[in-house]
Chain A
Amino acid sequence: MQRMFMRRTGLALLLMLAATALTFALVSAAPGNVAALIAERAAGAGADGEMIAKIANDLGLNDPLPVRYLRWLGDAVQGDFGVSLRTGKPMSEEFAARIPKTLALLAGGGVLALALSLVMGLAGAVSNGGIVDKLLHGLALVGASTPNFFVAAMLVIVFSVMLGWVPTFGVSGFTSWLLPWITIALFPGSVLARVVRVNLQEAMSRPFATTGFAKGLTRRAVLLREALPNILIPYMTTFGAQFTLMMIGAIVVERVFGLNGIGAFFIEAIRFRDFIGMQAVLMLFVVFFVSVNLIVDIAAMLADPRLRRPRKA
């Protein structure tokens, strides 16, 4: 058991290293880029080749790639992610200012997706083939297919423009978070509702459910007491995957609603060729995605003893 944890954690760390090395190699694939950009910032259009070469030399950009990666990694582990080429501030400051916003967005969206999926999935299972079930199935499909920027736009049209309940843009208090949360929760909520529905249906056809009926339990009691615990593992796994995918939703939502989070910073970094900023955010993403997957794996192992056995090759 403990050995499995160690193995998974080790593999996750290895994956993080490999993925950051790959992104580092990719981002620095265009040599001289960073130096040229810094020179441009410093001297305007008057940056000449000599100045660029000097900056490249000073920053050690002429060293071989592995050396540069190790140096970058050493700095990053100590909390130094370089200085953003776009804003001119250290990336650690940018992170400190922006990560809380993105986390608030993801957390609120995650809670909402959880609630939405459980309500929709359970209501569908209770109705079981009835009109409510069919309706919810359709709703889940549309929810999983509507682009999140369109969802955001429609929410703005209805709740800000038509009803005037919440501000269109920017962050000012609790209500301004509502539309962003709903926007990013709709997609994972719909996918998870399907997971709840399908797995409940599967559990209801298992022998223990029949036993429950034979004992004289009502359908609802079998559903909630016997079948519901069975969806835990597929639900957790899908939730983990969907939670990481919410980062994409966050990128879009931060732009639409003008939240200055990590996602908005990433897009700006790409547009302004801020390679240092891009590299730092990508590292953050890799750590985020790999850790969420690791947590889900470990949680699944804790919940289901069958997964603790080492897999046969």
Chain B
Amino acid sequence: MKNWPWLILTPAIIFVLIGLFAPFLMTHDPTVQDYKAILSPASWSHWLGTDYLGRDMYSRIIGGARTSLVAMVFVLLAALVIGVVIGSFAGYVGGRTELVLISIIDIALALPSLIIALALIGVFSGASWSWMSDYWKMIIALTLAWWANYARMSRAVVVAELQQPYIEAARVMGASHMWIFTKHILPHVLGLVVVYASADAGALVLAIATLSFLGLGVAPPTPEWGQMLVDGMSYIEEFPSLVIIPGLALTAVVVSFNLLGEAFALQKVPKAVRGGLLRRKKATRAAEETARAATEAKV
């Protein structure tokens, strides 16, 4: 772990820690409005001042980290599972099934993920979906918009790996499909996809904030950075800090995750760390390039 780019990872790690321990770090309830302390400057009781409803900015920033972290983890895990399952199934089975699944993946990738997520949120706004809260609508929309990237990546790895001689050897030895897949193929797929997904976290945090900024993600009073920022826009002339503070928090986290992604893409992360779960001895070049193109092409 010596060669890890610790410095650039600091904001990401702080973000995760703050998200995990948010309830212990907040000094106020981030949703409680105090009309006696509206738009007050930073002080001992309100470390970063208060917003236009007298809510404590510091606690809202902390709470926002938790909101983003929870949503991000949900979306990332769900999209990863769906993408890996569909993608590796398509790659392993081949033939007509693969063609159909690939077409679906290609259609899903024809539009940027965020636009798909927006469209799905629009669909979920229909009367028949009113049982779902805005928060879950956003999470499901983002998941459905995100899985195709991982599916394409997984399929590329599976197809490349299936051409390796050791797979044929295993088959000659009488190994079942299940055995070959779980013992030989899946570790390679996970090795690559999990790494790229972790680097994707920044794009996802950004997407969550953007949706909330547009008023289509996390609804008030739940604290969320994008939504805090859009609320602050009305007071931008007198109180720019309402905009700058959540914006800086968001930027720091995204920069940090993107640096992590760059470190992975350039293979700067030490081999020892990539070993174990992330084992991939000779994932062929084609697969890596496809995967790289997939991560680069999206936001």
Contacts and interface: CB of A to CB of B under 8 A. Distances in A.
**A23, A252, A270: most-surrounded residue (chain B CB, <10 A):** A270
A190 B229 CA distance: 23
B159 to A, nearest CB: 11
A270 B122 CA distance: 5
Interface stretch (B22-30, B43-51, B240-248): B240-248
Interface residues of A, number: 50
Interface string B229-259: 1101100110010011001001100110011
B110 A157 contact: no
Contacts of B127: 30, 32-33, 36
A267 B119 contact: no
A175 interface: no
A278 B122 contact: yes
Interface string B118-132: 111111011111000
Contact of B254 (A147, A241, A269, A290): A147
Interface in B267-299: 296-297, 299
Interface stretch (A61-69, A87-95, A281-289): A281-289
Given A30-B129, A145-B255, A244-B112, A150 B250 contact: yes
A144 interface: yes
B254 A252 contact: no
Interface string A21-34: 01100110110110
**B107, B258, B262: most-surrounded residue (chain A CB, <10 A):** B107
Given A142-B251, A145-B202, A252-B210, A245 B112 contact: yes
B110 A19 contact: yes
Contacts of B201: none
B215 interface: yes
B91 to A, nearest CB: 15
A273 B118 contact: no
B119 A147 contact: no
A145 B247 CA distance: 11
Contact of A26 (B120, B233, B255): B120
A15 B126 contact: no
Given A147-B250, A154-B247, A26 B119 contact: yes
A26 B250 CA distance: 32
B214 interface: yes
B107 A252 contact: no
A285 B123 contact: no
A275 B129 CA distance: 14
A196 interface: no
Contact of B247 (A15, A27, A150): A150
Contacts of B119: 23, 26-27, 270, 278, 282
Contacts of A36: 127
**A32, A145, A248: most-surrounded residue (chain B CB, <10 A):** A145
B299 A27 contact: no
B216 interface: yes
Contacts of B61: none
B251 A149 contact: no
B240 A157 contact: yes
A156 interface: yes
A145 B237 contact: no
Given A141-B259, A157-B244, A270-B118, A15 B125 contact: no
A72 interface: no
B233 A256 contact: yes
Contact of A270 (B111, B121, B251): B121
Given A30-B129, A147-B247, A153-B247, A247 B112 contact: yes
Interface in B121-178: 121-123, 125-129
B106 interface: yes
Interface of B: 103, 106-107, 110-112, 114-115, 118-123, 125-129, 202, 206, 209-210, 213-216, 226, 229-230, 232-233, 236-237, 240, 243-244, 247, 250-251, 254-255, 258-259, 262, 296-297, 299
Given A145-B251, A269-B122, 5 more contacts: A29-B126, A30-B129, A153-B236, A154-B247, A275-B122
11 contacts: A15-B110, A19-B111, A22-B107, A33-B128, A149-B213, A150-B229, A150-B247, A157-B244, A248-B115, A269-B122, A290-B110
